[in-house]
Chain A
Amino acid sequence: MKARGRAWKYGDNIDTDVIIPARYLNTSDPKELAQHVLEDLDPEFRYKMKPGDIIVAGENFGCGSSREHAPLAIKAAGVSAVIAKSFARIFYRNAINIGLPILEAPEAVERIETGDEIEIDFSTGEIRNLTKGEVYHANPFPEFIMEIIKAGGLVEWAKRRLAK
């Protein structure tokens, strides 16, 4: 599985309140949520991004609330992956569970700038910066997490487990 798109870079501690503000949490419809993705961080994001684009951020991405609406909004907006130095733990498991690709790659975050064309190979964890001509490597996932990713998310994983 591969992804390719332009990078949109943000800072540390991007919380779930700015990813999807609570004023929109009276729905769980992914399409509706996507219309407000990152609204309180970068109100222009949803207009300037194209499907396939990649969010790049610093430490502790997705901190705060457990709202799964945050990774859902990002996924439904068409973002193909989030690369960060580190993820807040509930966001991390939510993203894995719903099948939003995330990568922990501190070096990539240091080097990538907004607008860079990025290609990701999820099977190897290789991140290519086509604009700069550089290659970075994401931290590998633990085996169990890979199992969930390969199943396509926690629901599919659970179905298989229940079928056993």
Chain B
Amino acid sequence: MGGMTIAEKILATHAGKEEVKPGEIVLAKVDFMFGNDVTTPLAIKTFRKIGVEKVFDPERIAIVLDHFTPNKDIKAAEQCKFSREFAREQGIKWFFEGGNVGVEHCLLPELGLVLPGELIIGADSHTCTYGALGAFATGVGSTDLAVAMATGEAWFRVPETIKFVYEGDLQPWVTSKDLILYTIGDIGVNGALYKVMEFSGEVIEKLSVEQRMTMTNMAIEAGAKTGIIEPDKKTIEYVKGRAKREYKIYKSDEDAKYYKVIEYDVSKIEPQVAFPHLPENTVPISKAAKMNIKIDQVVIGSCTNGRLEDLRMAAEVLEGQKVAPWVRLIILPCSPTVYFKAMKEGLLEIFLEAGAVIGPPTCGPCLGGHMGILASGERAVSTTNRNFVGRMGHPKSEVYLASPYVAAASAILGRIASPEEVVK
């Protein structure tokens, strides 16, 4: 038996096998699954067609009403009502809305509902975020969720793994967002199609768990099935006191087979900006800042960059500064806990003094839902994950993806800017 990667080990265990090989299709037991207000209603309708009365285990399912909430219109409210009634009927233990809801991929790790070594599916493409904890987590559609709610299982094609190794010293203002944007810029939006992106190296070891989540979150933007990072002391420290279930640590074998190994010397990487309309259109900040790209809006938040550390980065740049008069700066802490801590730390004060709008924890403008929709011809710098045509509003609007540092600096100068221009 040859060595296996962490992803292969998790899939093998959950499929009840000694080993699995890339290309093989397995049926596997899922530890945890969830949907949101967009994907759950469709899953419920499909669940009804299967002909089972009850979900396989109400403690292993979450419903997170985070996309169009607080309800943006009557139809969205009806979708939430439909999901709420199902949750009550089925006794779904992990149901989130109102004061306890956060952006799903911030909320579920925070609550210890997704854990190392687990197999997790979510009816949301950014489910890959939990790979930062050493889980195999992947986005699926509503039908997959419906069938898994009925059977506790899902089918998986065992993916090949590409190993990314990051070495060297990070330059000032360079964050994990810049590393993942740079990587997507290098390999392209289908550079890891159907594959696992395993992030490793001394740079990844030094990143906090929150920063690691920013990287695994965007694996889908390179077409990957998931991103994954081997758990270490930091991971164990993070899940300690949160974990709602027992978990197991898996690591890749020394002789594991990789589809490819890609190495980066991070000392050569600058903060990155992904230009419209693909996350692969990355431009280093030294160049982007010289292009005098005037902006109308800045969004700081989302499952990519709405955590406490992200807000701290934004505050570091915004402290004592004012947002340009023509810019709307919208900050969305990604969970109630993040919101509360940001308040305690005085971050919200810094934001309000700078002229920001602080919104509730919601996906909101990231997917063009609500709370910051762009008009035709408008441009936004955003810490979110996608800049597709029409993603934040009008099909003729533009989204530039960047880190909280670059987003905050851009809000102050009213154009795409480097934090170096603001913080002396």
Contacts and interface: CB of A to CB of B under 8 A. Distances in A.
B143 A86 contact: no
B73 A26 contact: yes
A130 interface: no
Interface string A9-49: 00011010110011101111000000000001100000000
A17 B388 CA distance: 7
Interface string B49-61: 1111000000000
Interface string B225-241: 10000000000000000
B112 interface: no
B39 A68 contact: yes
A129 interface: no
Interface string A44-70: 000000000000000110011111110
B391 to A, nearest CB: 5
Contact of A17 (B25, B46, B391): B391
A142 to B, nearest CB: 6
B190 interface: yes
Contacts of B51: 159, 162
Interface in B59-85: 67-68, 72-73, 75-76, 79
Contact of A154 (B75, B124, B143, B367): B143
B143 A153 contact: yes
A13 B190 CA distance: 8
Contact of B141 (A59, A86, A94): A94
A18 B389 contact: yes
Given A158-B147, A162-B151, A68 B193 contact: no
A65 B125 contact: yes
Given A93-B140, A93-B141, A159 B50 contact: yes
B143 A98 contact: yes
Interface residues of A, number: 44
Interface in B10-43: 25, 38-39, 41-42
Contacts of B144: 93-94, 97, 154
A65 to B, nearest CB: 5
A66 B124 contact: yes
B322 interface: no
A68 B43 CA distance: 9
Contacts of B76: 26
Contacts, number: 142
Interface string B167-200: 0000000000000000000000110011000000
B256 to A, nearest CB: 21
A28 B43 CA distance: 10
A21 B140 contact: no
B389 A89 contact: no
Nearest to A71: B141
A150 to B, nearest CB: 15
Given A89-B194, A155-B146, A68 B141 contact: yes
B141 A90 contact: yes
Contacts of A59: 190
Given A26-B68, A28-B42, A65-B367, A155 B388 contact: no
Interface residues of B, number: 52
A41 B142 contact: no
Residue with the greatest number of chain B CB neighbours at <10 A, chosen from A25, A60, A155: A25
A20 to B, nearest CB: 11
Nearest to A59: B190
A86 B190 contact: yes
B369 A90 contact: no
A151 B386 CA distance: 35
Interface in A67-87: 67-69, 71-72, 86
A54 B185 CA distance: 32
Interface string B366-383: 011100000000000000
A36 B68 CA distance: 19
A22 B151 contact: no
A110 to B, nearest CB: 17
22 contacts: A17-B367, A17-B388, A18-B389, A22-B391, A26-B76, A60-B189, A60-B190, A60-B193, A63-B189, A63-B190, A65-B367, A66-B122, A66-B124, A68-B42, A68-B141, A86-B193, A90-B125, A90-B140, A142-B157, A158-B50, A159-B51, A162-B52
Interface of B: 25, 38-39, 41-42, 45-46, 49-52, 67-68, 72-73, 75-76, 79, 122-125, 127, 139-144, 146-147, 150-151, 155, 157, 189-190, 193-194, 220, 223, 225, 278, 367-369, 386, 388-391, 395
Given A17-B390, A25-B67, A86-B190, 10 more contacts: A13-B189, A13-B190, A18-B395, A26-B73, A89-B193, A94-B140, A98-B141, A144-B155, A158-B147, A159-B51
Sorted nearest first, the 3 A-B pairs with minimum C-beta distance are A68-B141, A94-B141, A26-B75
